[in-house]
Structure formats: structure tokens, C-alpha cells
Chains A and B, each alone.
Chain A
Amino acid sequence: GAVVSQHPSRVICKSGTSVKIECRSLDFQATTMFWYRQFPKKSLMLMATSNEGSKATYEQGVEKDKFLINHASLTLSTLTVTSAHPEDSSFYICSAREGGGSAEAFFGQGTRLTVV
């Protein structure tokens, strides 16, 4: 299947700083990318959907000013957690869909964020 690369896999940052997570589709063009958050032993919660070249659509309850999403190209989307707090510590996962009506989404390997 198609490959989605997420970087970094682990990051530790101090409270109040910002951290950027990258999601790249390596062998296909991802017209739509999704960002999920996952707490331990819980399911994936969709945070936002981003389409290349347009603003992301955030799910209810997700602060768009805190979780900045940029999808500047067909192969790259970034999630920036701004002014991070310990409660932002979580596992963040991206997925990408190829255009043309394909429904299958390919997932990155996830990023473990720890805010200290």
C-alpha cells in the first residue's frame, strides 16, 4: 500500500513552546489529510481535515488557534501545537487520502508528544 511518513516519532517539549509535526505522503498525492489524536487505550479522535490549498476543517471542540494545520502541498501537511501544555501530551496520528474518489486512507506511524 501507499506510504505515509510522519515525523518526528517522539518529541518532548517544554510548556509554552510550540512543536511541529509533519505528515508526508511518499508515493502518492494526498488531496486530503486528516489529523487524529489518541489517548492511551482509547480510539482515534478526529481533530481536523485538511485539503490541499485550503483551510482545515476542525472538529467541534478542537481549538484551531492552538492546533495549526497547514496543507501547502499535495504531499505535505503539518500540525503545529502552539503554546503546548502538559494536557496536550498525546499520540498524534495523520492519515492521507489520494484523490479520485478513493476512500482508503493510509496512516502515518504516529507522533508521541510529551509536554513537560
Chain B
Amino acid sequence: GESVGLHLPTLSVQEGDNSIINCAYSNSASDYFIWYKQESGKGPQFIIDIRSNMDKRQGQRVTVLLNKTVKHLSLQIAATQPGDSAVYFCAENSGYSTLTFGKGTMLLVSP
């Protein structure tokens, strides 16, 4: 079946740097995408979402970019902080169905 995948399993950055986490999806019918942050031993925490009729959405220190032409999603975190260290998952939704999660990227932020 179609799936969502991530390119990098681990991303290490210095505090204050900008981080970019990438995600490739393959289901062209997906109309809604979400980024989640998961800290060790906890459930996923919603970060930001974007619908397929948009190509960019900004939140506080985070920006999600959607490129439907190449089926690519990215999460940009500005001025990364040690508290941002976690595993980040992208997820896609097709209509009113379940979320399909990508493999995850571990973000490690060094002080």
C-alpha cells in the first residue's frame, strides 16, 4: 500500500540553529498532513498541520512546507532549543480516515 516515509533517522544540530526535517509521502489522495513531536515514553504531541490546498503554514518557531508536485513535506524549526530534542513524525490523512505515520526522525539538539 501507499505510505509515508522519512529520509533521515537522526538529525543533530547545535542550539540556536535552524532544523529541517523532511518527509516524503506517496498517497496523492492525502489532503491533510500533520507533524507530531514525541518525547521518550510519551504519546505524540501535535505541532502543526497543513491542508493540501496550502503550500506553507507558520506557527510559533515552526513552519511546514508542502510540495505536492514532488509529494514532499518538511518541518522547519527556527532557533532550535534543547527542549526540541525528540522524535518527529509526519502523518498523512486521506479524507476522514486514519492517520498514517512516517518512520520518524530523531532530533538531537546540543547546547
Which residues of A are in contact with B by a Cβ distance under 8 Å? 1, 4, 6, 34, 41-46, 49, 91, 93, 95, 101, 103-110, 112
Cβ contact within 8 Å between A44 and B44: yes
The answer, yes or no, to whether B101 is at the interface (CB within 8 Å) is yes
With A103-B32, A103-B96 as contacts: A43 and B89 at CB distance below 8 Å: yes
Chain A residues contacting B44 (CB-CB under 8 Å) are 44, 93, 95, 107
The chain B residue with its CB closest to the CB of A107 is B43
Cβ contact within 8 Å between A43 and B101: yes
Distance between Cα atoms of A106 and B91 in the complex (Å): 13
Q: Which residues B29-66 have CB closer than 8 A to chain A? A: 32, 34, 36, 41-46, 49
Q: Which residues B63-110 have CB closer than 8 A to chain A? A: 89, 93, 96, 98-104, 106
Chain B nearest Cβ from A27, distance in angstroms: 15
The chain A residue with its CB closest to the CB of B5 is A43
Interface size on B, residues (CB 8 A): 21
Distance between Cα atoms of A2 and B41 in the complex (Å): 20
Distance between Cα atoms of A1 and B106 in the complex (Å): 24
Distance between Cα atoms of A46 and B101 in the complex (Å): 9
Chain A nearest Cβ from B92, distance in angstroms: 11
Chain A nearest Cβ from B26, distance in angstroms: 15
Could you say which of A41, A43, A104 has the most chain B C-beta atoms within 10 Å of its C-beta? A43
Chain A residues contacting B102 (CB-CB under 8 Å) are 43
Distance between Cα atoms of A110 and B87 in the complex (Å): 15
Cβ contact within 8 Å between A43 and B104: yes
Chain B residues contacting A34 (CB-CB under 8 Å) are 98-99
Chain A nearest Cβ from B20, distance in angstroms: 19
Distance between Cα atoms of A45 and B44 in the complex (Å): 13
Cβ contact within 8 Å between B49 and A104: yes
Distance between Cα atoms of A108 and B43 in the complex (Å): 6
With A43-B89, A43-B102, A49-B98 as contacts: A104 and B46 at CB distance below 8 Å: yes
The chain B residue with its CB closest to the CB of A112 is B41
Distance between Cα atoms of A96 and B108 in the complex (Å): 29
Could you say which of B42, B44, B45 has the most chain A C-beta atoms within 10 Å of its C-beta? B44
